[in-house]
């Protein structure tokens, strides 16, 4: 399971990539692998205000639907519309297929480093 070093992680298996004062958010390789083939994604609207743990998107595999939770507070400034027609991009590379960009970010106290997330995954297993 890939866990790139330059990203931060959340307990519900989202990743965060800091870019200036914004953050890209997606789901981890572990999450996409658990979900299986993704066939549908429901995206939020630009401008949506999110608190930490808000479900901002849902991703559906052939078998199941799962909420994607926001790892930190912020406002949605961009959504990756490419995923609408090609949710399988998340299966192909979970770390390039970002879902939303957040700005006006809240605190990052709950985020884990790559090393911490790997430890977390071991405990979950």
Binding residues (CB under 8 A) for another protein: these are 36-37, 39-40, 42, 58, 60-63, 65, 84, 91
**Of 82 and 104, CB closest to another protein:** 82
The CB-of-88 to another protein minimum distance in angstroms stands at 9
**Of 33 and 96, CB closest to another protein:** 33
The CB-of-54 to another protein minimum distance in angstroms stands at 15
Tell me the CB-side half-sphere exposure of residue 85, using CA atoms within 13 A.
Answer: 2
The CB-of-61 to another protein minimum distance in angstroms stands at 7
User: What is the DSSP code (8-state) at residue 103?
Assistant: E
d(CA 29, CA 58): 16
d(CA 55, CA 68): 5
Tell me the CB-side half-sphere exposure of residue 45, using CA atoms within 13 A.
Answer: 3
**Of 22 and 61, CB closest to another protein:** 61
The CB-of-39 to another protein minimum distance in angstroms stands at 4
> Using CB atoms within 10 A of its CB, is residue 18 exposed (0-12), middle (13-18) or buried (19+)?
middle
**Of 97 and 111, CB closest to another protein:** 97
């Amino acid at each position: 399971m890939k866990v790139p070093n330059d990203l931060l992680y959340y307990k519900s298996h989202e990743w965060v990539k800091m870019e200036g004062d914004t953050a890209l958010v997606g789901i981890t390789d572990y999450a996409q692998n658990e979900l299986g083939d993704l066939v549908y994604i429901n995206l939020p609207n630009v401008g949506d205000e999110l608190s930490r743990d808000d479900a901002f998107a849902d991703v559906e595999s052939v078998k199941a639907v799962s909420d994607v939770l926001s790892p930190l507070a912020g406002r949605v400034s961009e959504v990756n519309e490419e995923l609408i027609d090609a949710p399988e991009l998340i299966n192909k590379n979970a770390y390039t297929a970002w879902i939303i960009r957040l700005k006006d970010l809240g605190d990052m106290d709950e985020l884990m480093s790559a090393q911490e997330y790997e430890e977390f995954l071991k405990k979950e297993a």
